[in-house]
Amino acid sequence: MSEIILKLENITKVYSNGVVANKDINIEFGKGEIHSVVGENGAGKSTLMKIIFANEKQTTGNIYYNGEKINYHSSLEAIKNGIGMVYQHFMLIPSFTVAQNIILGAEPIKGGLFLDKKQGVEITQELAKKYNFDIDVNAKVQDLTVSAKQKVEILKTLYRDAKVIILDEPTAVLTPQETEALFEQLLYFKELGHTIIFISHKLNEVKQISDKITVISNGETKGTFDCDDVSIDQLTELIIGRKLENTFDVHKEEVEKKPLLTVKDLSFKESGVYKVDNISFTVDSGEILGIAGVQGNGQEELVKMITGLLPQDSGIVEINGKDVSNFGIKTRRDSGLSYVPEDRMVDGVAAAASVSENLISTYYSSDEISGKFFMKDKNIINLSKDLIKRFYIRTRDENSRVDSLSGGNIQKVVVAREWKTSPLIMVAEQPTRGIDVGSARYIHEELIQMRNDGKGILLISADLNEVMSLSDRLLVMYDGKIVGHFDDVSKITENELGLYMLGTKKQSEDELRRAVHE
Amino acid sequence: MSKQDIKTLKKIKWTDDKPFSFLQLIASLFIALIVTFVVLLIVSDKPTKDFVDLLTYPLQSKFFFGYVLIKMVPLCFAGLATLLYFKSGLFNLSTEGIFYICGVFCTIVAVNENFMTGNSFVDSSLAIIIPGLLGGLIALGPGILKAKYNTGEMVISLMLNSILFGIGFYIVKTFLAVEGITGNASAPFIESAKLNIIIKGTQVHSGFILMLIAVIAVYILLYKTTLGYQIRMTGLNKNFARYSGMSATGLILIVHFLAGFLGAAGSSIELLGIYKRFSWTMLPGLGFTGALMTMLGKNHPIGVLIAAFGISYLRASAQLLANSSAVIDVKLISLVEVVLTLLISSQYFLRNWRNKKLIKEEITHE
Ligand SMILES: Nc1ncnc2c1ncn2[C@@H]1O[C@H](COP(=O)(O)OP(=O)(O)OP(=O)(O)O)[C@@H](O)[C@H]1O
Ligand SMILES: [Mg+2]
């Protein structure tokens, strides 16, 4: 058995609002092992990691690092001693460049006094290259996509040369290719004797990369397993306490076809380069149109133009037959649009507001919520309770602040709200990002139900499994253009899709034109 | 008290957010007073007496206590105006200048026979509402700049304060000042415009009631109306508000207008309540004091009311004692204010205590 580098002994954590997030947790992490921690949303994984990283303090219990009992007062101390962490929610400074963010707190110094900017840029460039992350180190973080931000977070931790690397759902927004690249890196680190603690809801990834797997449920450990001793099905059962059917009901009901979202010749140019290049497609009632693609190929901009958060340079957006090209998001929402945004913490919630305040933000002026001036508190409470139950949002009550929820539960708040607006067309960007297998299944079922009820759904996801199993039709985006359109998703393989996503293959104009329904 | 009542009383959990805030407030106050005492120990030759005086002087007569109550009125209005800004995420300190210039507007109305009807209700209302509306309109200036060009409201509001003071003082000197009085003071306000005394034997005027109404109105606005909901959400996360379909432009304008109105009304009420004539020759310092009230009041209208009372109590006490004690003056109170602000705005104060208590409770519950 390998040497123990980190040992948790009877860790219990009670948050100030009285939530018991961890109960008597005992785990041993070996040197040079990849150790996954899995569990439902709100099980207490992030909390436990924050405790190791000295970002939260355990209420009782001890941590031993290299055999010594440690009691760090801040994460800075943890970093100094070789513990690094990539948070589930980004901790980057938006107005700083990628390079500045990465070297922050450990900047190269010139002449003993001044920051060496140039060297900082060079170091980060090298770092990115070494780990095969394609990223512009001079870009400002606020302009990056979510997956790019994730890469910056990972690089930041790698830069500090941590002996123990904690990764809290690093792959939630990465594409399979990017995940592969990251895994290669992790394996390399493991060779070098680093310990990696890995959190993910994607159990196939967990199975693929781990040596050990610890399951946490309701704040308690259900045991640590050798990866080879447990199957994905067993893990699922340990995590959600029940079996999950491998296939689920995606049957389609025929509904009257009617275009709900039409996009015509949509383009967006940034510093002279087309980010979105002349894109046209239609989403009909009763269908889920998926968009696959490596992140950063124009999907974000396309979605922002459809939802009205970004003015298009040219082209037309129609929602339910109404031209909304020149209107903002309010008008579009009023016309029947709802939108699950990519970055839940930036757009999706007001973190310091309560769960119920977050659950009504997109339809607060409806009759159900508001009279002429006053809000109907009773209705808000009832409706919140209902949504909390329906979407398994784990929270103390509807008055808890959203930032006291776990990442996956925050995501559920966003999805529940957008579902509740009873949209005609839902634009769902990574709708199950960070959501555990059980709840993800539920959300998928809700999406399918919506489709069968005659709604339209535009699904954008880095999770190929998700787009392929839910979509009725599929578009592939590469370099701002649509390069593939598939009427029957069951006829394509993941590999083939990959070729389109990487721009190696492209369909003819004729084939692509079918994406538009006249 | 019924058994039920006793039970719910017992059930107050000091570790819950609101009781905890309250506890924090009391503890902060306690520490601030200890600091004051230590300072008195150093500077005073009869520290205990001075200290006791400072704490109890306003309680020694009805008149003194009344003085505390009227002195809290402008503090509270300034606090409410600033609260509106802060809640919507704007760091605007223009209440300062608005307070001054709207005092001037109020004077223009209240010394002019032509505006007055003789009915005291109508006249007071006019002398409060007209400057109030003007104050709202002035505040719209930075509001429009913010909404249209996203200018930094902090800097703009500080510049605006100087400008408003300049204009106001010019109006006073050239149009309002009467001869025969030292300094620049206006003619006396017409009797019917002044606010009535509501408690005999004190100076407490009907403006005190207006203040209470304003507190309740702001509370309802913020927490019970759709508008308030939008204001709060915008203040917490602008992106989220936009994404949800709220219009920031409209909100920014409304908030500026309301805050301007509140500041101006506070100014007029102060003037018509306790002054005979307009004689301010300086900015009142209420921009920062307003911010102080919101901070001490934990960003809540009721909190602002309590903070205004507390600060007014200490300031009034110091003012009243200034003649009889060699060391006590309003500057000493600034010290208390600073200590209080530091403690109350610190997230860490008492946190360890709370954590320990929680552990005990939760673990034994299990
Ligand atoms: N700052 C906080 N204050 C109060 N409660 C919190 C706080 N952070 C988390 N919690 C609560 O602690 C519990 C565990 O949360 P944690 O974030 O550790 O879950 P998780 O396992 O990481 O879940 P997810 O998979 O959704 O990220 C949840 O019930 C959550 O509501
Ligand atoms: Mg988490």
Mark yes or no for CB contact B363/A348 under 8 Å: no
Closest residue by CA, ligand 1 atom 17 = A406
Burial call B283-299: b when 16+ CB within 10 Å, e when fewer: bbebbebbbbbbbbbbb
Q: Which of B168, B30, B42, B153 is nearest to B97 (CA)?
A: B168
The pLDDT-based confidence of B347 (bands split at 50, 70, 90) is low
The pLDDT-based confidence of B3 (bands split at 50, 70, 90) is very low
The alpha-carbon gap from B308 to the nearest alpha carbon of chain A, in Å, equals 26
Contact A139, A98 (CB under 8 A): yes
| DSSP H or E stretch at residue A284 | strand A273-284
From A240, A274, A289, the end of a domain falls on A240
Contact B265, B135 (CB under 8 A): yes
**What is the reported pLDDT for B257?**
97
Residue B188 CA to chain centroid, in angstroms? 26
The C-alpha atoms of residue A295 and residue A477 are separated, in whole angstroms, by 9
Mean pLDDT of chain B: 87
User: Which pLDDT tens digit goes with each residue over B179-194?
Assistant: 877 778 889 999 999 9
Claim to verify: residue A75 and residue A221 sit in the same structural domain: yes
**What is the reported pLDDT for A36?**
97
Distance A227 CA to ligand 2 centre (A): 21
**What is the reported pLDDT for B6?**
45
**What is the reported pLDDT for B217?**
97
**What is the reported pLDDT for A327?**
93
Q: Do the domain assignments include residue A518?
A: no
Residues with CB under 5 A from ligand 2 (ion): A 46, 88, 406-407
From A183, A214, A240, the end of a domain falls on A240
Claim to verify: residue A146 and residue A170 sit in the same structural domain: yes
Tokens linked to A254: 């025929």
User: Which pLDDT tens digit goes with each residue over B125-151?
Assistant: 999 999 999 999 999 999 999 888 888
The pLDDT-based confidence of A119 (bands split at 50, 70, 90) is confident
Structural domain of A379: 249-513
Residue B187 CB partners (closer than 8 Å, separation 6+)? B111, B176, B178, B277
Does A516 have pLDDT greater than 80? Answer: no
Residues with CB under 6 A from ligand 1: A 15, 17, 19, 21, 39, 41-47, 88, 394, 404-409, 434, 436
Contact B37, B47 (CB under 8 A): yes
Claim to verify: residue A209 and residue A315 sit in the same structural domain: no
How many other β-carbons are positioned within 10 Å of the β-carbon of residue A163? 18
Q: Do the domain assignments include residue A265?
A: yes
**What is the reported pLDDT for A68?**
94
Burial call B214-250: b when 16+ CB within 10 Å, e when fewer: bbeebbebbeebbbbbbbbbbbbbebbbbbbbbebee
Does B258 have pLDDT greater than 70? Answer: yes
Claim to verify: residue A337 and residue A224 sit in the same structural domain: no
Tokens linked to A50: 């924050």
Claim to verify: residue A353 and residue A442 sit in the same structural domain: yes
Does B12 have pLDDT greater than 80? Answer: no
The total number of residues shown for chain B amounts to 366
The C-alpha atoms of residue A483 and residue A480 are separated, in whole angstroms, by 9
Ligand (nearest to CA of A39) = 1
**3-state SS class at A513:** helix
Give this prediction's pTM: 0.87
Q: Do the domain assignments include residue A280?
A: yes
The C-alpha atoms of residue A515 and residue B219 are separated, in whole angstroms, by 53
Q: Do the domain assignments include residue A421?
A: yes
User: Which pLDDT tens digit goes with each residue over A461-486?
Assistant: 878 888 998 999 999 999 999 999 99
| Ligand 1 atom closest to residue A44's alpha carbon, by position in its atom list | 18
Claim to verify: residue A275 and residue A158 sit in the same structural domain: no
From A188, A211, A240, the end of a domain falls on A240
Claim to verify: residue A169 and residue A20 sit in the same structural domain: yes
Distance A168 CA to ligand 2 centre (A): 7
Total domains in the fold of chain A: 2
**What is the reported pLDDT for B195?**
92
Claim to verify: residue A236 and residue A311 sit in the same structural domain: no
Mark yes or no for CB contact B233/A357 under 8 Å: yes
**What is the reported pLDDT for A381?**
96
Residue B62, CA distances (Å) to B67, B206, B310, B324 in order: 9, 17, 17, 19
Distance B346 CA to ligand 1 centre (A): 24
Mark yes or no for CB contact A309/B242 under 8 Å: yes
Residue type, B110: A
Claim to verify: residue A255 and residue A183 sit in the same structural domain: no
Q: Do the domain assignments include residue A409?
A: yes
**What is the reported pLDDT for B40?**
86
Q: Do the domain assignments include residue A500?
A: yes
Maximum distance among all alpha carbons in chain B?
79
**Phi/psi at A453 (nearest 5 deg)?**
-85, 5
Claim to verify: residue A364 and residue A488 sit in the same structural domain: yes
Claim to verify: residue A310 and residue A165 sit in the same structural domain: no
Which residues on A lie below 8 Å from B19 (Cβ)? Answer: none
User: Which pLDDT tens digit goes with each residue over A200-229?
Assistant: 999 999 999 999 999 999 999 999 999 999
Claim to verify: residue A193 and residue A279 sit in the same structural domain: no
Residue A176 CB partners (closer than 8 Å, separation 6+)? A464, A494, A498
CATH of the domain at A55: 3.40.50.300
Asked if B358 is an interface residue toward chain A (Cβ–Cβ < 8 A), one would say yes
Residue B351, CA distances (Å) to A17, A235, A405, A443, B348 in order: 12, 38, 20, 38, 5
